[in-house]
Amino acid sequence: MTRQQKYPDTKYFRFYNANPHGRITGDCVIRAIATATENEYNVVCMAEAVMRIESGYSLGNDGINWILERIGWKRQKQPRKANGKKYTGEEFCRAIQNGQFKELEGKRIVANIGGHHTVAIVDGKVWDTWDSTDGCIGNYWIKE
């Protein structure tokens, strides 16, 4: 069984691997940024290297913010439902698709999900190498 067969596309998930070698590795931030910004994977790798040299950050929220801020993206706070509860990735994507987040319609998003994972959200779907839509959405970034 291939990885894509293990994680088939759904209404809220699309299997996609931006890694040009097709590798499944701990590069989720690079894959998410490359996918959401429509930059080549290797361009994002170079931006990561520059970020680490110039700022001393790793690829946590500060590092993601450092890279994305320089190309016009802005960090957004974790979205919450009216009752204060967190959105899962599936609920967040459903809300985007259903027009509950008008400001996110047509936007490409880099989002923290499930605590220590980062994904791209495109057209109201998580694009990644595995379906993490059951994890909670954390901070996210959009192009202004």
In the chain the domains, ranked by start, together with CATH numbers, are 8-18+26-143 (3.90.70)
Residue 103: strand, helix, or coil: helix
pLDDT for res 108: 98
Q: Mean pLDDT, the chain, as a whole number?
A: 96
Q: How confident is the model over 80-121, as pLDDT tens digits?
A: 999 999 999 999 999 999 999 999 999 999 999 998 999 999
- What DSSP string runs through 44-94? HHHHHHHHHHHH---SSHHHHHHHHHTTTEEEEPPPB-TTSPBPBHHHHHH
pLDDT for res 144: 86
Q: What is the pTM of this model?
A: 0.96
Kindly tell me if the per-residue pLDDT of 62 is higher than 90: yes
Nearest to 33 by CA among 96, 94, 75: 75
Q: For residues 75 and 107, is the Cβ–Cβ distance under 8 A?
A: no
